[in-house]
Amino acid sequence: MTVYAIIGGTGLTQLEGLTIRQALHVDTPYGAPSGPLLKGVYAGHEVLFLARHGHPHRIPPHQVNYRANLWALKHAGATALLAVNAVGGIARSAGTGGFCVPHQVIDYTYGREHTFYEGELEHVTHVDFTHPYDEGLRQRLIAALREEGYVHEAQGVYGCTQGPRLETVAEIARMERDGCDIVGMTGMPEAVLARELALPYACLALVVNPAAGKSAGVITMAEIDRVLGEGIEKVKKVLVRMLLG
């Protein structure tokens, strides 16, 4: 039986409707995860939930201990990972309030602990990362979005920046030239660490603002919070629909 781990991003620090059976405080070789792993039942399925930024929301993207988070989830029994990410929209099709289920990623981050394969190794290991997201999980998320009737893009390129600051107009223009459709700060190294642990991984991205230069005004946290408040309720419905399907 598949045990899904849901990794909640900005706006999803707790999962209402989750019947919690156990809060797991897992020690890892990489330090402490962002918080306790909540093990329970959601939409009739055994799931694990972890708030990527902690609860309350306190850990910035560049300081998330991605290795500890992923190692802990696998150690606790997760066999597939569903990541929820708040992102900015670069492509015209990535409108605010809509969703994207990315099929590719470009990593612009630096200085993050991005692999389990380092230190005193018996041999060098390279993982194939041609297709960073699991296609089966992607298609299930897309089907759930379609069934709920939510505006979404069934593919896209996720550009992952360092944060915690937002990007400049020139940086977004560069990313657009590179082929990015959405921009976020937490998609990497999470995706590649999942691949190194052989855990199927997919991303449900909620577009919470136009990227820099893609609207007439400046980006405000008040507007992002407003979109998050509406969008997270949709996220929960999509997750329930997927699990029930």
Annotated binding site for phosphate: 10, 52-53, 186
At a CB cut-off of 8 Å and minimum separation 6, what does 207 contact? 87, 88, 89, 94, 95, 96, 97, 98, 99, 100, 182, 227
For 81, the token pair is: 């990972």
Beta bridge partners of 206: 86, 99
Closest alpha carbon to 128 in 196, 199, 70, 191: 196
For the annotated binding site for substrate, the residues are 185, 209-211
For the annotated binding site, the residues are 10, 52-53, 185-186, 209-211
DSSP track, 170-226: HHHHHHHHHT-SEEESSSTTHHHHHHHTT--EEEEEEEEEEPTTSSSS---HHHHHH
Residue listed under structure tokens 């019947």: 19
